[in-house]
Amino acid sequence: MSARKKAEPKGDGITGFPFAPEREGSWKITLPCTKAEAEQLAGDPPELALLDPPPTLMTSEPDPDKPEDWQLDAYVEGKPTRALIAAVTALVPSAAKVKPVVTHIPEEDWVTLSQSGLEPIHAGRFFVHTPHNADHVPEGMTGFVIDAGRAFGTGHHETTTGCLMMLDRLKRSGLRFDDIADVGTGTGLLAFAARTLWPAARVIASDIDPVSIEVTAENAAVNAVPIGRGRGQVELVVAAGLAHRRLKARLPYDLLIANILAGPLIELAPVFANAVLPGGTIILAGLLDSQAEAVARAYRRQGFYLAGQIVRGDWPTLRLVKRKR
């Protein structure tokens, strides 16, 4: 990212947040945070749903020699209000006494950040990239255009990458699935990948956030993924867990994917178990390595066994199979 000149403070107590006529475009709120806080923010904290406009969060490790010191950058459209800045600051309690750095981003810099600033992701046979890299899909790989935007799941987080790798592993092992659900779909990427691997399957993707479903529909159009209820199509619904008549009408599933958070995964274990065929597979992600045993235990109690896992950094992706009675 190119360096940007910061606006001079004018006595409001917030670095780079001048008392100037409001400027349109994108703004960035920067705060230090801990590694643990950065990992929590990767799961799209529910507090974001209460913010208007909701920011796009990006966390990074500025200095590899200081692995516990991370940075939060929150991007918003339009000049952020004091209330919005306070809400973002509340996401990182370790920075409670730190003055946020708030800067205006010229349009061309925001485009550079959201496009070329995100390197393509290789995950199994999948190549996930922004429109900036559309001409660089390696031969023999399946490319998906997923722009940096309003929903989680660009492929750049270890949880999404791990799920893509797990799907690729299942396909290479010769498994076939006919009824697939992607719960907490985010950008739709995992549903698109599953449909590509098993093109004759019926696929449904859901998310508790209506914005995520809007983003998924947009991404489906960009990637020529047909939306609908038939085989080879992806159906989209807004729902918490499996609480939607269309999700219930499609029961049972032989493959269920849920890249959400450890708490909801444990809470939903009985619901997911009842939704999956004996011998069916559940792919779970969004949990930390320290949470993996608790999540696996919740599903063992529902008649599943751990059939495999992929660990990316501190983020495991679990494959659980329902025992045949």
Residues annotated within a binding site for S-adenosyl-L-methionine: 160, 184, 207, 259
C-alpha span between 116 and 128 (Å, rounded): 13
* SS3 label, residue 216: helix
210 φ, ψ (degrees, to nearest 5): -60, -30
Q: Which helix (H) or strand (E) holds 317?
A: strand 315-322
Write down the residue that tokens 């370790």 correspond to: 94
- Other Cβ atoms within 10 Å of 225 Cβ, number: 21
Question: CB–CB of 9/15 below 8 Å?
Answer: yes
C-alpha span between 227 and 106 (Å, rounded): 36
Q: Annotated binding site: which residue ranges?
A: 160, 184, 207, 259
CA-nearest of 300, 232, 317, 236 to 266 is 300
What residue ranges in 167-212 does DSSP mark as E strands?
179-183, 202-207
Question: CB–CB of 148/73 below 8 Å?
Answer: no
Question: CB–CB of 226/232 below 8 Å?
Answer: yes
Q: How far is CA 214 from the centre of its chain?
A: 14
* SS3 label, residue 163: helix
C-alpha span between 81 and 39 (Å, rounded): 26
Write down the residue that tokens 């590899």 correspond to: 64
